Amino acid sequence: MQAFPAVATIAQDVRNGGRSARSFTDDALARIDAHGEALGAFLHVDVDGARAHADEVDRRAAGGDDLPLAGVPIALKDNLCTNGVPTTCGSRILSRFIPPYDATVVARLRAAGAVIVAKTNLDEFAMGSSNENSAFGPVRNPWDLARAPGGSSGGSAAAVAAGLVPVALGSDTGGSIRQPAALTGTVGLKPTYGRVSRYGLVAFGSSLDQIGPLSRNVEDAARVLAVIAGGDPRDATCSNDPVPDVVAGLEDGVDGLRVGLPREYFDDAIGDGVKTLVRRAANRLATAGATLIDVSLPHTSYGIPAYYIVATSEASSNLSRYDGIHYGHRTKDAADLAETYERSRTEGFGAEVRRRIMLGTFALASGYYDAYYDRAMRVRTLIRRDFEEAFEQVDVILSPTSPTPAFKLGEKTSDPLEMYLADVLTVTANLAGVPGLVVPEGLCDHDGARLPVGVQLMGPLWSEARLLQVGRWLERTREEAISIPEGAAS
């Protein structure tokens, strides 16, 4: 299967009248129809709505409107509210929810001329690292249909990796954009917390969640970020600072760049194939004039326990509204209010969501708050200071993203702790609020398969432009092409 043209090429073709938005939309819909079911990547395909909007984009383009994403087909993780289109969060409790409004990022995409074609599968309420927790079935990795694509934005990552759409949006609470990007050979960007409005994103961990793009190349991610970023009066946590031009400096070099290699991210738990490719990228940077500097993020080992207290506590609070009365699925024939609550939530929530709600409720309970939540927040401060001190010495940090390439479906589901440890290299960026970018570096042999490995770049707050510049350089100088996997079209 041929990849879609670059986002800028699609938009230029539509604006110049060389090809219509409707034709690009029909192309995406045909690809989804042919290959989407095998991947399990989509929960809703908005055929009629997408075509109607594409026709509108063609009219606007013909009228001379400035549309930076004119005609670009895009898929959205199904925790982003879309007016008149189902938004389930991969959960039975929201199986019939149709929002009456668009999330801010969705409204901005539409205004820029992008065409929303589908909603993608995800771990229920974005809680998972493999996309096996969805109430509507798992997503399969296009590189090997027996393997997980990562989570929780696995549907978005798989759709882009398989060439079904050129770009998709995901959300990242503890690595849910970056880890799937690494496991599927795509580009994934988690912006600084507050760079992109969360209005209309169904909340998991409100102090951790951030929306970002998944794409096949760095420039496409930059162009989507340029559209969705910026202040929003409906999100008090969204920064009103001007957003720099993240596209202008993409082709700049890396001479003089100070690159940090955190020693805690290269321990024995990280696979040899992964470490080899990350070090290959580092050596390439050094050859081009960058300086490699060993740095320490000493509280990294506390990241997983701190994250899974903070995140589950916020989840417990955020998901308390789904009780069968105010929001969500309501059970039938309950005898009283207490039974309505119990049965509605038991029927509506999957096992992983119930587990995290219970963990968070316990951590927030009277008598345990100081021992768990308050202590986790103190550790979070220490992790943030680790990054601040490191960025006094370096401009960016380069590291692995996931301890291994894609693991097999079912391999980790029997041990929740082992699944949680898949996020050990990504959760700290969310706790600190710093941006992270994953770029494919190459393929390595793992467990009888040849699978993609992505390198992670992290930078100081608001440094998306620099991360994208470095990521683009790594992409441009990569030794091997990362094409659409053959399994995607099977």
**pLDDT, tens digit, 9 for 90 and up, residues 110-129:** 999 999 999 999 999 999 99
**pLDDT for residue 159:** 98
Rounded Cα distance between 45 and 36, Å, is: 10
Active site includes 77?
yes
- State the pLDDT at residue 416: 87
SS (HEC) of the chain: CCCCCCHHHHHHHHHHCCCCHHHHHHHHHHHHHHHHHHHCCEEEECHHHHHHHHHHHHHHHHCCCCCCCCCCEEEEECCECECCECCCCCCHHHCCCCCCCCCHHHHHHHHCCCEEEEEECCCHHHCCCCCCCCCCCCCCECCECCECCCCCCHHHHHHHHCCCCCEEEEEECCCCCHHHHHHHCCEEEECCCCCECCCCECCCCCCCCEEEEEECCHHHHHHHHHHHECCCCCCCCCCCCCCCCCCCCCCCCCCCCEEEEEHHHHCCCCCHHHHHHHHHHHHHHHHCCCEEEEECCCCHHHHHHHHHHHHHHHHHHHHHHCCCCCCCCCCCCCCCHHHHHHHHHHHHCCHHHHHHHHHHHHHHCCCCCHHHHHHHHHHHHHHHHHHHHHCCCCCEEEEECCCCCCCECCCCCCCHHHHHHHHCCCHHHHHHCCCEEEEEEEEEEECCEEEEEEEEEECCCCCHHHHHHHHHHHHHCCCCCCCCCHHHHC
Residue 242 scores a pLDDT above 90: yes
Residue 207 has pLDDT above 60, yes or no: yes
Contacts of 23 by beta carbon, 8 Å cutoff, 6+ apart: none
What percentage of the chain has pLDDT greater than the value 90? 94
Q: Which of 20, 129, 152, 153 is catalytic?
A: 152
**pLDDT bracket for residue 489 (50, 70, 90):** low
Options 77, 119, 190, 412, the catalytic residue: 77
In this predicted structure, which of 306-310, 375-379, 481-485 has the lowest mean pLDDT? 481-485
For 97-109, the pLDDT digits (tens) are 999 999 999 999 9
Q: Which of 172-181, 328-337, 451-460 has the lowest mean pLDDT?
A: 328-337
For the stretch 45-89, pLDDT in tens is 999 999 999 999 999 999 999 999 999 999 999 999 999 999 999
Q: Cα separations (Å) of 407 from 6, 333, 450, 451?
A: 30, 42, 12, 10
pLDDT of residue 483: 87
Instruction: Check residue 204 and give its pLDDT.
Output: 97
Residues 6 or more apart whose Cβ sits within 8 Å of residue 335: none
Confidence class of residue 479 from pLDDT cuts 50, 70 and 90?
confident
Mean pLDDT, the chain, whole residue set: 96
Question: Edge-to-edge strands of the sheet including 449-458?
Answer: 42-45, 115-120, 73-77, 167-172, 210-215, 187-190, 436-446, 449-458, 396-400, 258-262, 291-295
The residue behind tokens 């001329």 is 113
The residue that leads in pLDDT, 489 or 217, is: 217
Domains of the chain: 7-251+457-489 (3.90.1300.10)
Mean pLDDT of the 374-392 span: 98
Contact 425, 172 (CB under 8 A): no
Which residues, at least 6 apart from 283, have a Cβ–Cβ distance to it below 8 Å? none
Selected catalytic residue, list 134, 153, 156, 176? 176
State the burial class of residue 459 (Cβ atoms within 10 Å of its Cβ: 0-12, 13-18, 19+). Answer: buried
Cβ proximity of 363 and 380 under 8 Å: no
- Min mean pLDDT across 45-49, 205-209, 420-424 is at 420-424
Mean local confidence (pLDDT), 180-205 = 98
Specify the pLDDT at position 488.
65
Give me the mean pLDDT over the 411-429 stretch.
92
Q: How many C-beta atoms lie closer than 10 Å to residue 200's C-beta?
A: 23
Query: Could you report the per-residue pLDDT of 265-299, keeping only the tens digit for each?
Result: 999 999 999 999 999 999 999 999 999 999 999 99
Q: What pLDDT is recorded for position 487?
A: 64
pLDDT-based confidence at 333, cuts 50/70/90? confident
Mean pLDDT along residues 124-147: 97
Residue 444's DSSP bridge partners are 451
Per-residue pLDDT tens over the stretch 294-304: 999 999 999 99
Selection from 148, 125, 78 nearest residue 320 by Cα: 125
pLDDT score of 490: 54
